[in-house]
Each structure stands twice: as structure tokens, then as C-alpha cells.
Structure 1
Amino acid sequence: MSSVEVSGLDMHEVLAEPGAWTTVYTDGPQGEPPGAVESRMRSLKDRLRDAGVPDDDADAVLAALPDDTGLPAPSARWLLVRAGDIVADEGFSSARRGLERITHGSFPDIVPLVRHRGAQRRILVVETGRDGAELSLERLGRAEPEHTEQVEGDQQPITKVNPGGWSQARFQRSVEEVWQHTQSDVADAVDRIVRERQPDHVFVTGDAQARGLLLENIEGGTLDLVVEVDADTRADGADDQSLRDAIDETVSIAHDDAISAVRDRAAEQDARNGASGLADVVGALQQAQVQTLLLDERMADDEDTLLALSATPWVALTAADAFDAGPGTPVPAVEALVRAAVLTDAEVLFVEDEPDDGEPRSDRGPQPPRAVLRWPAASITGDAPAQENDDTTGSTS
């Protein structure tokens, strides 16, 4: 399924309905003084006018952008406007990805939204201790967590002491039982959130002994998602740098693994499971055959266009293959591909080209689009998919 979500907005409906849409993708708070913000808004007003944005849409954008959304600096904003009303206003806790985009046309520009959403994995952070735990369900790149929860342990002694005498062993066992019961409660909460909200990763940090007890109690399916961070972020004076480093590394590796899996899957069975190149990918999208679409982010800088159609099959190379969906609207090729993918519930992944700090960006061109298909590629050309032999059914005459 496509991961594009905008609160209170049906993206299928927005993308399927031609209209007069203004899309603005620009910088959010940059940590500059108020005077610099005002100067930036004046400059943006000129760019809105130059892009042909209607005055009422431009006024709505300029009124919304200076609002304090709680985003750190640097950040980015994506706004969708129609008839002077802000339909969507999404903020991202990371710098803008690519060039500023200001458009006014029949369909929204959603590539910046999809690129940021692809990096906004849902994670569960569990900071546990002998007295309980704090749980935070987060979307990376968003300012506020989606859900927080606190699990409090039993209000009995939670620290081992040496009282001496015959009662020492019994006292120590009692303390250990309190710890065990507390982490069992934490595990129940973690398992429930994983079942209901399906995070991509679960990061466990906090007291070392409490972490060990927690990992003994959580379910196997949850354990597969766990990344244990050897740091007690609940301790007085502790910072969360180790946790943040672990999150960044884990998410980066997972993204690279997902891209490798798409490439491997698309190449299976002599590439019958995949489509490569603009024409083949468009053909697969027209049949809602794409399961995962893989795009090079450099396509966002390309000047190639495709036709965005107002009905199925949603995208076409030329008017000749638009079927009965009308003449179509020329839009940047990457926008047309992503729009068709979202409308057919395909997942979209971007290969991001991010050079190391201080390194120049290479001048290579974009790699061709690639897709993993829901059924074999032979059916794009009308051939019936090959039937697998089933030795259990026997033959009929």
C-alpha cells in the first residue's frame, strides 16, 4: 500500500480530481531572526506571483508559513491550497529535499511529500527502568510523537539492599519479583502497541537489568523488531545521542535493504517480476500491476513529461495510449509516475543521492525507473502468466 498519508485528507480523491491546485514546497523555520523571516516571505511572494499562483492562494500561503509549528531548524513545509483555502499543511523536521517547488495546475505536486514520507518511519522508543517505562510512538521527521504511554511499576521496594539476618534472601527475592512483574507489564504494553500501530522498529534503552527482563517477556514477533541500545537514557544527566545514532543507523540500513530487495525481486525469473525503463513502468502502472515503484530522486530535476489522466489508467506516454481518459495534462514525468502509483496503491521508494559532508554531488543523470510487479511481466503485453505445475492435483482427461 502507498504510504502517503495526510491527516484529514483523502489523497486518492485529491489526486483523481482535476482542479486548480497550488502546491508550495519550501523551507520551514531556519532559526533566523524575525527580520530575516519577513524578508524571506517577501521574496517568496514574488516567486508565487511569477509561478502564476492566484492572489487568494498566495495570501493563504504567506499567512500560514510564519506560524510556529514547533519544527526544529532546519525544516521544510509542503502546503496544498485551493480557492484560497489551505487544504494541507505538512511540516518536516529535516531540511528541504531538492529544489523549492511552487506550482499551480490541475494536479498537486506530491513528490516532495512522498520523499519525506518515505523517510518518516514509524518507531517505538521504550525507555525502561526498574520502576516502570516511558513508551513513545514516533514518526521520524515529525515534531511530536503520535502516542505516549507510561507504565508504572509496583510501589514496593525496587532497590536491593543488605538488611542482614535470615530475611535477606527473602527480601532480595521479593525485589526481583517486583522487577519481573514491572517488566512483564511493560512487555504487555509494547506488544499491544506493536500489534495495533505496527512500527517498523522498536528501540529499547534504559537500565541494563530492566532491559534484559523486558526482552525476556515480549513476544517473538515484537522481538524481531527490537534494537537494544546500550544506554540508560532515563538516568539523571543522560543524553539521548546513543539512541538517536542507533535510530539513524537502523533506519538507513533498513532503507538500503528495502531498495536492494526491490532490485533483487525485480530481476528474478529473468526480470519477469519487474519492469524497467519509462515505457515498461508506465505500461505496468496502467494495469495497476506495480507493487513497488523505485525512483531515482534525480528524476525530480529532469524535464521529461508524461500525461496525467483524470481517470484510469491515470498515466500515459502520449495521447495515443490514454485510452478513453481524455487528452491528459502534461506534468513532470516523476510526478505522473508517483501520482499513478498512489492511485493504484503501490509503494514508492526513492533512491536518495546524498553525498558525504563536503563532497560534491555527482553530475550523473537519473537512473531509469524500476518496479516490482504484482504478477509476471508477460501479462503487460497480453500474454497469459505461466501456470505452475501442481503435482498434487493429478491429470484429467
Structure 2
Amino acid sequence: MHLSLLQPIIDRPGPWASVYAEVPHSTEDAAKQRELSADAAARQLAEQGADRATCDAVREALAGFRADGDSAALAGRAVFATDGEVVLDTPLAGRPAQPFAAWSPLPRITPWAEAAADNAGCLVVYVDRMGANFELHDDRGGAEAGKVDGVDWPIHRTATADWSERHFQTAVENTWEQNAGEIAEAAQRVFDSCGAKVMLLAGDPRERRSVHDKLPEQLRAVTYESDHGGRAAGSDSTALARDIAHVRAVHERDHVADVLDRFRAGAGVGGTDPAYAATGVPALVEAAREHRIDTLIISPGGADAGREVWVGPGADQLAVRNSELQYLGETNPSAARADDALLRSAAANGAEAVVVRDPAEAPTGGLGAVLRWSTPTQHE
């Protein structure tokens, strides 16, 4: 998963309030439940030493939430606040594995990563011979992402076979091909800008195949086709929803498998040297400080996840020992969890993360990384 959503909280000084809460639905007392949950979270934060203004900001955010529209499908929320302000309030498609409120030097972002791991966005392209509509589907549902209209004449073939009509039919087919090219170009632009990880073409079989063939190779590799749904009003179907869920799951499974293969081989993104993979907190901390992490691997419950490391206000300020960070210039380091510190560094430096739920498949200790390069000397 990409970690750009975390940017607002990466380099802002703490301490931080991190709250993972369930979202009550479809009950007469949902508002009362939200209020009770908000009060409980604020009380827990205060007991841990959070300031009054931050507790009040969290309470207000949790109690004031209204689940409607796309948000009605949400089952949880993650709220991050500091210095009396909610900095990030993000939905969770599933209920938090363990609702909690924490006051800590770093935001508790690893539970967010665990919840977001399966939420690969799918760009659905509803195709016909005149253009396409785009929708982005994730665990929050579907949202319009734009449209493209091609040339609308000539667009329909005739049944006659004299020379003039054959000439006209050739022009029609040229229009189809031209429109397919415009759809493919627009699909590339929308895909790059919307954050989707996989694309699904639905609608006219001939046109979607033509669009597929005109996509850039990299996008074509993550593009699927569905025989269900279409551009016309009322074409959405339960079968299309199943196809969307299927391609999202397949993409996430294949991506995690690819990362694990790279990790096991030690190949990383630059070669076949075993030094392109790292495991163990000391090696991971060193790689994070040097911006060498390409993909961070996290396994929930791993022994290393909660191991203590030392951090400063900047994402690059992390160390295994307090004295080491002081030597690097941070005069007042704080203790933090290894998983949160490494994830913060990964987000700050453009890395991604994957969550491996099977401990047998995960790195020893539950934390690992595929590296961009093996050593600073090699990079130079």
C-alpha cells in the first residue's frame, strides 16, 4: 500500500492521540453510542496524560460523526490529534481489530496500515463506442472519477454491402478505434491521479478489448475485463460488484506474494545481492535512516513490532539506543514502538508497505524490508 495519506502527521511534533473506534450503524441509539464512545476515548487519553484541548478535539470529532452516503458502509475510524487539533480523521472499512485510545510520542499508525492493507482501489471504466465513464471503487464504495466522450459520428454501421456503404462502415470502425485510443489515454490519466491499484473494463466487448490493447504495457498488466455492467444508466449489477471485489483481492494477493518473493531472494529492486533485503530491528532502523527501504513488510503480532526504539520529531530521527540518537543530535529522544517508527520513516521517504497476515510467511520477528540499494556506498 502507498502511505501518502499519512503525510499530514509524519513530521509534526507530538505527543499524539491515536484513537481507533467502531462506527455504530442502523440503531435508534447510534448517536448515543457515538457520544459514549467519544467520552470513553477522551477519558482514556486524559488518564494517559493527554492535554485537555486534544481530548476535547477528539471527543468532538468522534461524537459529531454522521454515517451517511458512502460513509454508511464504514465500520470504523482512525483519528489522530495533537496540540488541541485533529490532524487526520480517516475511515476504516472494517472494524478495528481492537478499538483503543493511545497517547504516545508517535501516532499509532500500524493498526491503520493493517486495516488499509486490503483496500486496493479499483478504477472501473464503463466503456461504449462513444466514450467512457470512470468510477473509483474501494471499501467505502464507488465514487465518480470523470468521463471522456469521443467522436460521435459516424458511429453506427449499416447492413447494406454496396461500395459506398462499405466505405461508410470503414469510417465507422475508424471512429471506434479513435475513440478507443482516447479512452485509453484518459484511463491512464485518471488511473495515475486517483490512487487506484487495479483497473476493470466493463461494457461493450469489442470496444473494451480495443481499449485494453491500446493501454500502456504497465497499466495493461493490472487491467481486467468484466462481462457485466456497462455505461448505460441502470447497467450496474451485483455480478459486476463481485468482479470488482475479485480483482481487488487478486491484485493484493499477487502484490504481497511478489514482495515476499523479492524479500526471500534478497533481490530488492536493483539486483540479486542478498543485501537487498533487511530483517531485525537494528538493520531496519539503519536502512530507514539512510532512506533505503523500498517496501516495509509488517506482520501483525510479530515479536519485533512492539520492540522499543528511540525517536526524535523528524522521521529520520530513529535509533535502537537512546545514546545513539543523542549522538546524532537529538537532545530529547522518546521511546516508541518499532513498527510505528519504521512505518513513519517509510511514509516520509516515499516507500510503501505490505501486511502479511500469515506468520509463517512473514519475516522473522514480523518486520522486514525490501531495499532500494544495499549500502550507501553502492548508491553513490
Quickly name the TM-score band, shorter chain normalised. 0.7 to 0.9
Task: Measure, in 1, the Cα distance between the counterparts of 2:120 and 2:336.
Answer: 29
Task: Measure, in 2, the Cα distance between the counterparts of 1:102 and 1:72.
Answer: 23
Task: Measure, in 2, the Cα distance between the counterparts of 1:203 and 1:135.
Answer: 10
- Say whether residues 1:27 and 2:22 are aligned partners: yes
**Secondary structure, aligned partner of 1:204:** strand
Task: Measure, in 2, the Cα distance between the counterparts of 1:245 and 1:123.
Answer: 9
**Secondary structure, aligned partner of 1:288:** coil
Would you say the 8 A contact 2:127–2:133 is kept in 1? yes
Match of 2:367 in 1: 369
The offset of 1:128, in angstroms, is: 0.4
Would you say the 8 A contact 2:129–2:155 is kept in 1? no
Match of 2:105 in 1: 106
The offset of 1:149, in angstroms, is: 1.9
Would you say the 8 A contact 1:229–1:242 is kept in 2? no
Count of aligned pairs between the two proteins: 365
- Say whether residues 1:333 and 2:338 are aligned partners: yes
Would you say the 8 A contact 2:42–2:56 is kept in 1? no
Q: TM-score, normalised on structure 2?
A: 0.79
Would you say the 8 A contact 1:266–1:371 is kept in 2? no
Q: Which shifted more, 257-266 or 75-84?
A: 257-266
Which one of 314, 317, 322 corresponds to residue 317 of structure 2? 314
**Secondary structure, aligned partner of 1:307:** strand
Identify the structure with bigger relative contact order (alpha carbons < 8 Å, sequence gap 6+): 2
Paired amino acid for 2:277: G
Match of 1:126 in 2: 125
1:198–1:241 CA distance, 2 compared to 1 (3 A): closer
The offset of 1:42, in angstroms, is: 0.8
Match of 1:293 in 2: 296
Would you say the 8 A contact 1:76–1:96 is kept in 2? yes
Q: Show CA shifts across 1:320-349 (max 9, x none).
A: 322232352122232222223334443322
Would you say the 8 A contact 1:273–1:372 is kept in 2? yes
Q: Which structure has the highest helix share of the two?
A: 2
Q: Which shifted more, 299-308 or 70-79?
A: 299-308
Paired amino acid for 1:105: S
The offset of 1:156, in angstroms, is: 4.6
The offset of 1:302, in angstroms, is: 6.0
Structure 1, unaligned runs of 5 or more: 355-361, 388-397
The offset of 1:259, in angstroms, is: 2.6
Task: Measure, in 1, the Cα distance between the counterparts of 2:161 and 2:278.
Answer: 73
Q: Which shifted more, 281-290 or 263-272?
A: 263-272
The offset of 1:208, in angstroms, is: 0.8
1:100–1:12 CA distance, 2 compared to 1 (3 A): same
Task: Measure, in 2, the Cα distance between the counterparts of 1:288 and 1:147.
Answer: 34
Match of 1:264 in 2: 264
Task: Measure, in 2, the Cα distance between the counterparts of 1:299 and 1:265.
Answer: 21
Q: Show CA shifts across 1:339-365 (max 9, x none).
A: 2333444332221359xxxxxxx9x99
Would you say the 8 A contact 1:78–1:90 is kept in 2? yes
Which one of 27, 45, 51 corresponds to residue 45 of structure 2? 51
Task: Measure, in 2, the Cα distance between the counterparts of 1:328 and 1:244.
Answer: 46
- Say whether residues 1:64 and 2:61 are aligned partners: yes
Match of 2:214 in 1: 217
Q: Which shifted more, 308-317 or 41-50?
A: 308-317
Bigger radius of gyration, 1 or 2?
1
1:44–1:366 CA distance, 2 compared to 1 (3 A): farther
Match of 1:250 in 2: 250
Match of 2:146 in 1: 148
The offset of 1:196, in angstroms, is: 5.8
Task: Measure, in 2, the Cα distance between the counterparts of 1:265 and 1:112.
Answer: 28
**Secondary structure, aligned partner of 1:51:** helix
Q: Show CA shifts across 1:183-230 (max 9, x none).
A: 233223224445666753332111112212323433444433322223
CA RMSD of aligned residues (A): 3.7
Paired amino acid for 1:35: D
Match of 1:358 in 2: none
The offset of 1:44, in angstroms, is: 3.9
Task: Measure, in 2, the Cα distance between the counterparts of 1:386 and 1:224.
Answer: 29
**Secondary structure, aligned partner of 1:298:** coil
Task: Measure, in 2, the Cα distance between the counterparts of 1:344 and 1:166.
Answer: 63
How many percent identity over aligned positions? Answer: 20
Paired amino acid for 2:43: R
Task: Measure, in 1, the Cα distance between the counterparts of 2:192 and 2:206.
Answer: 25
Would you say the 8 A contact 1:229–1:246 is kept in 2? no
Structure 2, unaligned runs of 5 or more: none
Paired amino acid for 1:50: Q
Task: Measure, in 2, the Cα distance between the counterparts of 1:192 and 1:164.
Answer: 40
1:73–1:219 CA distance, 2 compared to 1 (3 A): closer
